[in-house]
Structure 1
Amino acid sequence: MLHLRLIVPAGRTDEVVDLLERTVGTTHLVVLAGAARDPVGDVVLCDVAREAGDELIGALRELGVDEYGAITVEKTDLTLSAHADRAEEEAPGEGADAVLWEELTEATHEESTFSVTYVSFLAVATMLAACGVMLDNAILIVGAMAVGPEFGPLAGISTALVQRAPWLVWRSLYALVGGFAVAMVLTAGFAWLMNAFGLFDATMIEGARPNTAFIWKPDWMSFVVAFLAGIAGTLSLTSAKSGALIGVAISVTTVPAAANAAVAFSYSDYRQMTGSTQQLLANLGGIVLAGTLTLLAQKALWRATRHRRAAVRPPAQAPAGTSGS
């Protein structure tokens, strides 16, 4: 279930309450008259089944509640109520399959911001991967992949394409390209510094490296793995199962490829730099393509599910004591 807290001007409370009462899957309606102070108005509380949440939030925005008041949505981990059970049964579809597009857009918007924190995480992850590359240490590579925050902008691009929001596409692309550019430049400088201290040398990157050589040797399997990881990552975001993102992060070689390209550039090994760049682009492209197709499929399947449930829902019965004529 989702818990909604609305702030509504007193003069518009009735129409909002009427909408909530008419929405299938809504229950536990509470109106606190005059409780809000900033902005001034009534506080309206309710619970709604997740599968009905996206439609309800959209209807509330059409009424302008987000403009003249506020809409706050919280997830409830446990709700013990027969009313809630009935609301979930009446709502079309399954909660696990429902996509809250407003929540997804907001989450990817936050993760797609070109900020100091985002760039710092990406740069540190790329430097860790550089150490893994030079030491041919797979554990360091996996650790760097887990630290990298690049899935946020990738998910942002997919979400923006499906939602047809060009501004979010460009914002996410800016964070993605700009973040990797800064991280790779800093990693190249890090490699030069480590070389000056005698901790890195050319033989380390030119050696056989059986554990990490795959990073700069892309093939179709690189794209397939990235595609599958993109599906898993998108499903984890839309179903609020964020734990799966760790598995996604350590499945693709975006950060290690960027690190290998930066280190190879610092040692003028342009063959490895080219191969690593191709690996990076293949992974990024596979994730974006998979994410976009997954969201499109979820959107189509959810629409079909709602229509099917609406078609088979029995008509409401007349109250006892009334005539059907």
Structure 2
Amino acid sequence: MRLVQLTVPTGKQETILEALDDREIDYVLTDENSNREYAGVVYFPLPAPAVEPVLDELQDAGVNEDAYTVVVDAETVVSRRFEALRDEYENGDVDSDRISRQELQAEAQSLTPTFAVYAIMTIISAVVATAGLFLDSPAVVVGSMVIAPLIGPALGLCVGSVIDDEELFRESLLYQILGVLLAISAAAIFAWLVRITNIVPPGLEIGSVDEISERLAPDLLSLAIALGAGVAGIISIATGTSVALVGVMIAAALIPPAAAAGIAIAWGQPSAAIGSTVLVLVNVLSVNLAGLLTLWYTGYRPENLFSIGQTEQRVRRRVIGLAGIVLIFALFLGAITYTSFVAASFEENAREEVEMILSEEEFAEYQLLEFEVVMDDDYPFVGPERVVVTIGGPAGESPPELADQIHEHINRHSDETVAVEIRYFETVER
């Protein structure tokens, strides 16, 4: 529910009150004694979905932007006419639950802080995320998402595009570009300081840290996260619900991969930074694409009816452009996903080959103790580099034909030769 406070321009009082009476809206009128060009102030409650159409009608009646309008939340309204108005506008779908265009614009602007605050919070978030990745701590990484101020620019770009506020669109676009650059740069500088001061063990292989490695070789599931964050973010802001948790979800799609890219750069592995950088970019674009489509679907349009056609063409061009770029990045992520699938299939087939060999009668006294596939560091398209097979058996060296068979059978499942390391342990039964 909303309480609208509207200044009534001189000469428009009768027209405005007639419009409210025609819609059977309760109102209170007070006189204006400030000797300005206003005859009074009218107060009236509205269901949230009714704010936009009523204000548009009043604007058509002569209430322009020079007469200020204040829309605030109302906790309770006791009125039979208000209940009838609510039944008229609230029918249970998303379109009826959304807030007005005017509120949406104000909300999008309020979610974006000043650039100084935005830059500082983004840098802090990136540094905390980098520390969390080094510590291999999901809790710290999640904490970095909470303080990231990324939801404002992401949603502001979508809102600016749909309601034809190009100033909001350009500001949000600039914030997003600078935010990504700041996050990656801050993470790279912090990771470099960590490396040269030996805060982490010297010679640390970043691929051995799970929280880092999973973002150096992302897959297509990351795209689903970004699209979901964009849709959820727009729905939350459009329906006036809390956006705090959605902001964490959007930050989850951007901050950790940006920190992983910075770490790879600091470790002198630019190729390893490719996958995480692509992940950052595809997430940013996917959030904006999902937001644009969701806003347009929920029925938001520009205030000026004559600009609807031009705005629709502009939104269509941006959607097509974003979709095209996201598709290209999706193909890249798809290639990484396929490479991961091939590596996983190789590991499964290689293990089955070893188990099958050891199940033969001539090697019945030997048993598989451990099986490990060591991946190379050719990020983002990692593949098997060597296989370590640990076998237990009776005293004495393992028969050479066993090692030869294992090597031959494992390499049947790889296009390139994979080194096979056989470790033999004597097993003693007591």
With normalisation by structure 2, the TM-score equals 0.63
Q: Is the 8 A contact 1:217 1:279 kept in 2?
A: no
Q: Which has the higher contact order (CA 8 A, sep 6+)?
A: 1
Any unmatched runs of 5+ in structure 1? 301-325
Name the residue aligned to 1:108.
Answer: 108
Q: For each residue in 1:31-88, what CA deviation from the matched residue of structure 2 results, as whole angstroms up to 9, or x when unmatched?
A: 0012557775411110112221111222334455353321000111222332321221
Give runs of aligned pairs for residues 131-280 of structure 1, distance below 5 A.
Answer: 131-200=131-200, 203-204=203-204, 206-243=206-243, 245-247=244-246, 249-250=248-249, 252-280=252-280
CA distance in 1, matches of 2:246, 2:169: 25
Distance 2:118 2:62 in 1: 33
Q: Secondary structure at the match of 1:28?
A: coil
Amino acid corresponding to residue 51 of structure 1 in structure 2: P
Question: Which range is displaced more, 229-238 or 200-209?
Answer: 200-209
Deviation sequence 1:106-145 (CA, Å, 0-9, x none): 2223334651111111111111111011111111111112
Q: CA deviation at 1:19?
A: 2.4
- Aligned-residue identity in percent: 24
Following the alignment from structure 2 to structure 1, what is the Cα–Cα distance between the partners of residues 223 and 22? 47
SS in 2 for 1:27: coil
Aligned amino acid, residue 217 of structure 1: A
Report what 2:54 is aligned to.
Answer: 56
Distance 1:205 1:154, change over 3 A: farther
Equivalent-residue separation in structure 2 for 1:253 and 1:190 (angstroms): 20
The aligned counterpart of 2:400 is none
Equivalence for 1:17: 17
Q: Give the drift of 1:285.
A: 1.7
Give the direction of change, closer, same or farther, for the CA distance of 1:39–1:138 in structure 2 (3 Å limit).
farther
Moved more, 5-14 or 133-142: 5-14
Change (3 A) 1:198 1:61: farther
Contact 1:258 1:277 in 2 (8 A): yes
Deviation at 1:212, TM superposition (A): 3.9
How big is the shift at 1:91? 3.1
Shift in alpha-carbon separation, 1:155–1:202, aligned structure 2, 3 A: farther
- Equivalent residues of 1:126, 1:183 under 8 A apart: yes
Count of matched residue positions in the alignment of Structure 1 and Structure 2: 297
Gaps of 5+ in 2: 301-430
Normalized per residue, the structure richer in helix is 1
> Does the Cα contact within 8 Å between 2:126 and 2:256 map onto a contact in 1?
yes
Other-structure match for 1:304? none
- Structure 1 position 85 matched with structure 2 position 83: yes
1:42 aligns with 2:37: no
1:312 alignment partner in structure 2: none
Partner SS, residue 240 of structure 1: coil
**Structure 2 residue 37 is the aligned partner of structure 1 residue 2:** no
Write the distance in 2 (CA, Å) between the matches of 1:274 and 1:225: 19
Number of the residue aligned with 1:75: 73
Alpha-carbon contact 1:232-1:248 (below 8 Å) kept: no
Output the aligned Cα RMSD.
2.5
Distance 1:63 1:27, change over 3 A: closer
Whether the 8 Å contact between 1:125 and 1:145 is mirrored in structure 2 is yes
Of the two, which has the highest radius of gyration?
2
